[in-house]
Amino acid sequence: MKSVRKIHHLRSNMREEVLDEKNLPSSPLALFDLWMKMAIEKSPDPTALTLATCDKNGNPSARIVLLKGYNAKGLVFFTNYKSKKSAELIQSKSAYMVFYWPEIHKQVRIEGRAEKIPAAESDQYFSSRPRESQLGAMASEQSQVLAGRKALEERYKFFEKKFAGKKIPRPSHWGGFRIVPTYFEFWQGRTSRLHDRIVYKKIKGNMWKIFRLFP
């Protein structure tokens, strides 16, 4: 492409939904739960989120992962514990998650501390996954350099044969992280770019300070 493709004329029309201090729950999780339920109804990929991490020199990286559960303790996703993201989460403990649901004009940003979930919880989820996904997790040395597609397929076949007719155990390099949130920002798209941005910042225990930001 020689010339720069112009996309600045593309605009989306915001539906008039509002975030009003008068109607906010005291817990950000209750609002997250409400929005997630709306996203599940309207969005093709409601659980997909961008997870940002940072290496020890402050260089950021980000990727999509899928949210697999949430409760008052935090938000859980699964990955390879030897991946780049895991190395950074283990080293810095800091994580940043972003959900964007264009169909309902909503964004949620979450900052928190990362911790590995107990092995028994990872075992439970791993055993519920389709066999092909279990073999895929076994075969992938996520984020390592791979000689070629064939090498990956051969590793998959190797484990397929090894575990033929047997239960596939969770590999120790695969499991869940819980992000324990300290900050939520709820963004509601509004007309004329006068969007609503409401922040819940953890003070202590279950207490959250709620405030509004300029859009």
Residues that bind ligand FMN (CB under 6 A): 48, 61, 63-66, 77-80, 83-85, 142-143
For residue 157, count other CB atoms closer than 10 A to its CB: 12
End-to-end alpha carbon distance in the chain: 34
Provide the minimum distance between the beta carbon of 94 and ligand FMN in the complex, in angstroms, as a whole number: 15
Element of type H or E holding 180: strand 174-188
Spatial CA neighbour of 52 closest among 109, 10, 5 = 109
What is the spatial distance between Cα 97 and Cα 108, in angstroms, rounded to a whole number? 8
Provide the minimum distance between the beta carbon of 147 and ligand FMN in the complex, in angstroms, as a whole number: 17
What is the spatial distance between Cα 134 and Cα 160, in angstroms, rounded to a whole number? 10
Amino acid found at 3: S
Provide the minimum distance between the beta carbon of 97 and ligand FMN in the complex, in angstroms, as a whole number: 12
Out of 5, 129, 193, 212, pick the active-site residue. 193
Spatial CA neighbour of 195 closest among 186, 204, 183, 203 = 186
Q: Which is nearer to ligand FMN, 43 or 83 (CB)?
A: 83
Q: Which is nearer to ligand FMN, 85 or 106 (CB)?
A: 85
What is the spatial distance between Cα 196 and Cα 180, in angstroms, rounded to a whole number? 24
Q: Which is nearer to ligand FMN, 86 or 188 (CB)?
A: 86
Q: Which is nearer to ligand FMN, 129 or 197 (CB)?
A: 129
Provide the minimum distance between the beta carbon of 45 and ligand FMN in the complex, in angstroms, as a whole number: 6
- Residue 129 among the catalytic residues: no
Which residues are known catalytic residues? 193
